[in-house]
Structures are given as C-alpha cells and as structure tokens.
A and B are shown apart, each in its own frame.
Chain A
Amino acid sequence: MRNLYVPTKAVIEKIKTQTHDTKTFTIKPANGEKFDFEPGQFNMVSLLGYGEAPISISSSPDNKKTFDHTIRFVGSLTNTMEKHKEGSIVGIRGPYGSSWPVEEAKGKNVIFVAGGIGLAPLRPFIMQMFHDRDSYGKIQILYGARGTGEMLFTDEFNEWKKHSDTELHLTVDKLEEGEKWDHTVGVVTVLYDVAKLDPANTIAVICGPEIMMRFACRSLLKKGFYAPQIYLSLERRMKCGVGKCGHCQLGSKFVCKDGPVFRYDEAKEFHDTLL
C-alpha cells in the first residue's frame, strides 16, 4: 500500500519575484520523473519542520519537466519558502483535486475573472488555451488586484494580448496618490461593463478571495449567465489533500478531492460559504 503522506523530493530550479510578497518557484522532481497535472489542481508543498500547505500549480500543463508554484508569503511555511534559493529542496505531494473544465470549454468563449493571487490557479488553463488556441472561442481575462503593486504575471500581459481574439482587462481597487494607471479603478465586477460580456456559448471561470467570488458570480447572474456556466475554485483549510483529515469538508464534499474546482450551482448550495 502506497504511503499517501510521504512527499517526493523536488528541487527549486528558478525563482521569479512577482510582487513584494509573492514569488513564482519553478520546481523539478528530483528523480527526474515527469509531472503530469490538470489545470486547476494543486500540490501539498512540504517543508520538513514547517508542515505542508496546499498550493495551486500555476504553470502550463504542457510542460511536464517542471511546474510552477506562485506563493504569497503569509505565514510560517510560506514565509520560509521566501527564504529558499535556487537549488533548495522542497517536498511535494500531488497533484490533487479537480480541474477547470478544459474539455467542456472547447468550442466556447471563456471569461476568466481573477482577484489577486487568484490568477495563479487560472494561469495553467489560460496557457492551455493559448497552446490550443483554435479549439476555443473568444478569451476575456478580467483581473483585479488591491493595488498596482499586487498584480501577478504583469510581464506576460503583452504576450497574452497578442493571441487572437484575446482581451485582457485590468482594474485595481485603489491608486496611490499621483499614481499613473491606464486601466480601470474599482472592484473586478466593474470590468463586466468594460468587457461587454455575452453569456451565449460562454463559460466563466473565477478565482480569488471568496467574498470577491460572491460578487463576481452574483453579478454574472445579473448579466444573464446561468449558474451551471460558472466555475470557481474554493479555498479551505487542508491538512492532508487526500480526503482523510476532514478539515476541508463542505456539505458532503471534500474540497481537496471533490474540489477545489466546483460549478457554481453546486457550490452555492453549501452552507458555510460566502457565496
């Protein structure tokens, strides 16, 4: 019987600073084995002495040699990650969880709605669509952050916009005194009018703080979307990632196993959410 709780060794190949508190770590399994995952899945990242944390995979699923984790430094494990250098060893268990509706999205338009660090779990799906651009319709990426300094992957945005039939709309909650910004100011849902959303033959995928997802989902319904067209990724406390520790339970679901990606019509029926 395989031991579910033993992490495999992996090496940090590259570290890229995203913001003042967030970095992207490119990681490679130490045994050189290929790493296969679906967009939307996560790993348990393990640091001996600091525990484990669920972290989404933020790189393209086409790359099977390495994978990325984009990590915000908020507590004991993540702050320790900040101190890691290229060549450092980490432990990995995964990939775990459900994935974004990559197949269902084929032939359809896709709207991404991301808040803050929520762009990281969406990025593999975006990359996958760019890689297989003709299989999908229009791509609209709506991205909001608290301030201009909180945005991830900004150096890739020009590249993203070059893809055919692809829009990127940005907004920040607030600007600093005298700060220059060519985009929108306001919460992410103000972009719904900027982007002129059309529910026909479209799915929407959302990731961000739960309170933001609440408004993002509800506003989509007001724009004429149906709940089954909307997918989102839920964050819950996770200690095992494999449906055993009980922490992530919501209704009869284990967010680690049955989620983290849920369809909105299912997710909004759970108690104990902000949705």
Chain B
Amino acid sequence: MEREAVILKKSKVNDWVNVMREDHTVYGPVKYKYDYHFKELEPGMEVTLEYTRSMIPPKKFLHPQEENLITYRRNDGMETTPTKFEQKQVILGVHPCDARAIEVYDEIFGGDLPDVYYWNRRNNTIIIAVTCTVPDENCFCMSLDESGPTLEKKGYDLLLTDIGDSYLVEVGSMEGSLLLQFEGLFEKATEEHMHAKDKSVEVTKMKVQRKIPDVPGLHDFLEHNYENEVWAKETKKCLSCGTCTLVCPTCFCYHVEDFNRFNLEDGNRVRIWDSCQLIDFAEVAMGENFRKDREARLKWRIYHKLAYWQEQFGTLGCTGCGRCIQYCPADIDMTEILAEIRGDKVHA
C-alpha cells in the first residue's frame, strides 16, 4: 500500500480526543452561536469535524492575537522568554485551505530571519487536518490549489477524510503516526477505503463553484487595472473595519506596544494583530500617511495577496477560504471585483 493509513470509526473520535488530551492540549472546531470556533476541547465538549469554516482561522495558535515579546523592568533589564509549552498542542480539524495558510506562515516567519516566538509554537504543534466535505458558495480553493478540499502528502501530520461511518486517517509525519499508537481505536485501512476517499474528494471538488480565473496572470492583470473605476465604486461600500484581515488565515501583520504597569517600572512589550485596512497603518512621523485613502487600502489588501505575495513568499497570499467574503459587513467580495473588472474589459 502506497499511502500509510488507518480507519477511525466516527463513534470513536471523542475517545481519541480524550486519550490525546492526556499528553497534549487539543483544539478543535466547536459551534458557538452562529459560527464555528477553534477551542480547547474539554471533557464533554462535542468536536465537529464536518463544518464549513471557523470564523478565526487556526493561525491564532501559532501567531496569537496578542503575544508577549518582552517582560521588562525599566531600570533592571528585561526577560524575554517565549511562552513555554508544557504540552504539545494538537489542532484537530484543520481544513486544507487553512493548512496551506500555515505553510505560508512558515515562509513568512521563517526565511533568513526566523521568528523564535512563532517557531516555538510551530515546533510544538501537531496538525490533524480534515478533508473538507461541506464547501459553501464562498469557497474558491480550487482556483488556488488543484487539490482543493484535500491535501496531497504535505501540510499535515495526520489527515482525516470522511468515508461514511468512519474516517480514513492518513499519516503525514512521524509525530502524526505517534498519535495512532492507542489500543482499540484504529483499524487497518484497505484499498477500498482509499477509493472511498478519492471518490468523496471528487464529489466535493464539484461543489466548489466560485472561481478566480487565470491565477498565473493575476499579477499583470491587476497591475494593468490599477486605475479601473470598479475600485472607486467598491471603496464607497468599504468601512475600513479590518474584518477581512482579521479573519484571513494568511494575514500576519502586527503592531508592537509597550504596556506599563501602574508602578511605571514593570511592563510588557506585546505584539498584537494589526490591519492594513486601518487608517494609521502606514502613517509615519509628521503626519504623512501613504495609504490615507480608503481606496489605496482596499486595493493594497487585494494586490498584496494576489499580485505581490508570490514574489515575497513563493505562493499567493490567498487560499480561497472564503472568510473575507462571508464576514465582510459591506459585502465586498474580491472574486466579484475581479470578475467585474474582467467584464469591463470585455465590453470595452
């Protein structure tokens, strides 16, 4: 058998979570009000592996919204210990789009100047991905990666795929296989199970309807259409609220702030997610602001992700997860913007 895999009955998922919890902190998607959120799985909590998307992507476990960089005492130096991990963290139920975004993060926080806070978390993280079965009308992963709702060989430690009353569990790493060493939970997978997975993936792929055409041509297309009037029209709707960047699994920007205690001696230097959509993001001394116009900011997000990212990190800055479309309060949709611009060109 080419792929290393086992079978896990759906009825045993919670048992598995419970045994993993003995040595790991386990997070998974849980329904809360209208949305799914990754939360720490505690006894009695129901993890849902069949879900469309979480509001905040699992990036929050690798690049948390707030991270303490330095604890200082102003007259007495500083302490700079990255958060310690007593236990490894398992993120269960990561969708392929979000797993790809984590690979993008590895590039951003890696490179010639690796970020120790990120890697301290990353090296202590086990990713149990799950093949997506319920894409909705906002998903367009197929335009960005032909594996779409599943992963091929990389980006996961384990990969689960729903094949009826059980999950096919494929192994992506040594660390992943260690999580399969529990008695009585897993059965051997057969060639048939593999076929069941391939079939299910084919069906799901058909459900991903939204598209960005001609992805390799996007850079030139966007540069060519920088002055297109569609941008001004869309800008009129935009609230510059920053939701699109907050929910985006590849957005990484942060600002840094010192928080002093009331004794004015002790404090913390903390990094906090920031958004290029907020007005002061690109402001410099003496009040100069290079993206003070909302249109410049709206365009920057889309150009950064679809035109510039490739040169910076070797991939696009969008995985097609659909979050920015679903959560934008003003119904701004970059796939529609692109379509509208293309339409303009046809009619011109």
Contact = CB atoms under 8 A, between A and B. Distances in A.
Contact of A245 (B256, B267, B300): B256
A235 interface: yes
A243 B296 contact: no
A272 interface: yes
A273 B290 contact: yes
A50 B299 contact: no
B70 A239 contact: no
Given A1-B116, A75-B285, A210-B288, A240 B267 contact: no
A233 B128 CA distance: 46
A272 B70 contact: no
A203 to B, nearest CB: 26
23 contacts: A4-B114, A4-B115, A5-B70, A5-B117, A49-B264, A51-B269, A52-B256, A209-B288, A210-B288, A210-B290, A236-B282, A236-B290, A237-B281, A237-B282, A243-B111, A245-B271, A251-B308, A252-B310, A254-B312, A271-B296, A271-B300, A271-B303, A272-B290
Interface string A1-45: 111111001000000000000000000000000000000000000
B320 to A, nearest CB: 21
Among B78, B113, B117, B311, the one with the most A-chain Cβ atoms within 10 Å of its Cβ is B113
B218 interface: no
A265 to B, nearest CB: 16
Contacts of A4: 113-116
A75 B117 CA distance: 29
A85 interface: no
Contacts of A52: 256
B311 A246 contact: no
Contacts of A51: 256-258, 269
Interface in B231-264: 252-258, 260, 264
Interface residues of B, number: 52
Nearest to B313: A252
A237 B283 contact: yes
Contact of A252 (B82, B108, B312): B312
Given A4-B116, A6-B70, A209-B288, A247 B282 contact: yes
B254 A49 contact: no
Contact of B254 (A1, A2, A6, A245): A245
Interface residues of A, number: 37
A247 B274 CA distance: 9
Contacts of B281: 237, 247
Among A49, A240, A251, the one with the most B-chain Cβ atoms within 10 Å of its Cβ is A49
B276 interface: yes
A184 interface: no
Contacts of A200: none
A245 B255 contact: yes
Interface string A197-216: 00000000000011000000
Contacts of A236: 282, 284, 290
Contacts of B267: 48-49
Contact of B256 (A75, A240, A249, A251): A240
Given A49-B267, A51-B258, A247-B253, 5 more contacts: A48-B267, A235-B285, A245-B271, A246-B252, A252-B307
A242 interface: yes
Interface string A207-242: 001100000000000000000000000011101101
Nearest to B282: A237
B285 A74 contact: yes
Interface string B183-226: 00000000000000000000000000000000000000000001
A131 interface: no
B113 A74 contact: no
A65 interface: no
Contacts of A235: 284-285, 288
Q: Closest 7 interchain pairs by CB? A: A246-B253, A252-B311, A252-B308, A48-B72, A1-B116, A74-B285, A272-B290
Contact of A48 (B78, B274, B303): B78
B69 A50 contact: no
B74 interface: yes
A64 interface: no
A244 interface: yes
B74 A49 contact: yes
Among B252, B269, B291, the one with the most A-chain Cβ atoms within 10 Å of its Cβ is B269
B286 interface: yes
A272 B288 CA distance: 12
B119 to A, nearest CB: 6
Contacts of B271: 239, 245
Contacts of B282: 236-237, 247, 272
B39 interface: no
A273 B289 CA distance: 10
